């Protein structure tokens, strides 16, 4: 999960992702930042996050992003 947190901090420096429980509701991630995050996650974890995974509930917290990445890794 630390890697995900590091990626988030490069996308939006200074945002408090570690203590947030809902990145979308708290406006920590907007649509363009989610797309950038998807690209970074694809590169970092050598995965392909496809359209069915790009939904708000998968980007609410570090834990939800981690769970999505794990699910994709298990399916590949």
How far, in Å, CA of 60 to CA of 74, rounded?
21
- Looking at the predicted structure, is the pLDDT value of residue 50 above 90? yes
Model pLDDT for residues 6-33, shown as the tens digit of each residue: 999 999 999 999 999 999 999 999 999 9
CATH of the domain at 16: 1.10.1200.10
Task: Please list the alpha-helical segments (H only) found in 1-76.
Answer: 2-11, 31-45, 62-75
What residue numbers bound the domain in which 45 lies? Answer: 2-75
In the prediction, which pLDDT does 6 show? 98
| DSSP helix/strand/coil, 12 | coil
Positive or negative: CA dihedral 61, 14, 2, 52: positive
Structural domain total, the chain:
1
The model carries a pTM of 0.94
């Amino acid at each position: 999960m630390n890697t995900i947190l590091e990626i988030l901090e490069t996308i939006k420096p200074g945002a408090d992702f570690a203590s947030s429980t809902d990145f979308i509701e708290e406006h920590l991630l907007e649509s363009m930042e989610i797309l950038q995050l998807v690209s970074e996650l694809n590169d970092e974890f050598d995965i392909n996050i496809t359209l069915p995974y790009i939904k708000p509930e998968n980007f609410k917290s570090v834990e939800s992003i981690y769970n999505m990445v794990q699910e994709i890794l298990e399916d590949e």
